[in-house]
Structure 1
Amino acid sequence: MTDFTPFEDLLRGHAGLLEDTAHDRWVRAQSLFAEKAYREAAVLLAELLEDSTDVGHELTDARLLLARSLYHSAQLNGAIRVATELLEHDPNEPYAHLLVGRSLQRQGKPDEAQPHMRLAELLGGYTA
């Protein structure tokens, strides 16, 4: 049994002040991404997704931000892997197609990128 002071017990019940909740980590990851700390955001998002018990569409936003963070930090294989996993759950996610396509382009694979770029444009209006 952990011994907490009455004040610590009170804090534990309010807004996760003594705990690092999934929401806290999500907000921090968004902030890191906004500050262009892409590598740090990717690490935090990967941990968040690994620790998550949610499945399917609930984590689409976190997966998409992870893929974006990996892309912007030039971890292109990781960006492709995460975006492809996202597409397995939602094949009509235009930004995931865009990330796969642009990552493949940056790797010098324009022929492989082309179908993803077309789908990104058709599904979401994203152009190369």
Structure 2
Amino acid sequence: MEDMRALGYGLGQQYFDERDYRGAIRALRPVMEETPDDVGTRLLLARAYYHAALLKPAEEHLLEVIQREPTEYYAHLMLARTLERQSRADEAGKHRRIAAALTGDDELLKPHRI
């Protein structure tokens, strides 16, 4: 079973790297269902949703990552970008500030240009 999860994750990563975000989602969803506590898989799935412009599922998975790993700066940054794409800049600002505080990088405070 572990081999199948690794294969699914690897396939999802390959699709993501090829910018086939919907293919990545299809490959990663079963892996996520089998291992819901795996933050790395959940974060990659959230990124695929974001790039596929499926912002609500991206937001949901990013919130789950942050709940499990509150110091995962990249999840905060991606959540800020996801919220910005939904015209929710005030909510995004909080997560940009957290990402900047976690990394010490004030450049993260600047809104992402889409």
Q: Which residue of 2 aligns with 1:108?
A: 87
Any unmatched runs of 5+ in structure 2? none
Q: Matched residues, percent identical?
A: 36
For 1:91, what is the secondary structure of its paired residue? Answer: coil
The alignment yields a C-alpha RMSD, in angstroms, of: 1.7
Using the size of structure 2 for normalisation, the TM-score is 0.85
For 1:21, what is the secondary structure of its paired residue? Answer: helix
State yes or no: 1:74 paired with 2:53: yes
Q: Which residue of 1 aligns with 2:68?
A: 89
Cα distance in 2 for residues equivalent to 1:45 and 1:121: 29
Match runs of 1:111-122 below 5 Å:
111-122=90-101
Cα distance in 1 for residues equivalent to 2:13 and 2:57: 18
Which range is displaced more, 118-127 or 91-100?
A: 118-127
Q: Which residue of 2 aligns with 1:61?
A: 40
Deviations 1:86-125 (A, max 9, x none): 1111111111101111011011110111000111122133
The number of residue pairs the alignment matches comes to: 106
Cα distance in 2 for residues equivalent to 1:72 and 1:66: 10
Using the size of structure 1 for normalisation, the TM-score is 0.76
Any unmatched runs of 5+ in structure 1? 1-15
Deviations 1:18-74 (A, max 9, x none): xx711111111110000000111012111111123xx64xx1110110111011110
Once superposed, which parts of structure 1, at least 4 consecutive aligned residues long, lie more than 3 Å away? none
Higher helix residue share = 2
Q: Which structure's CA Rg is the greater one? A: 1
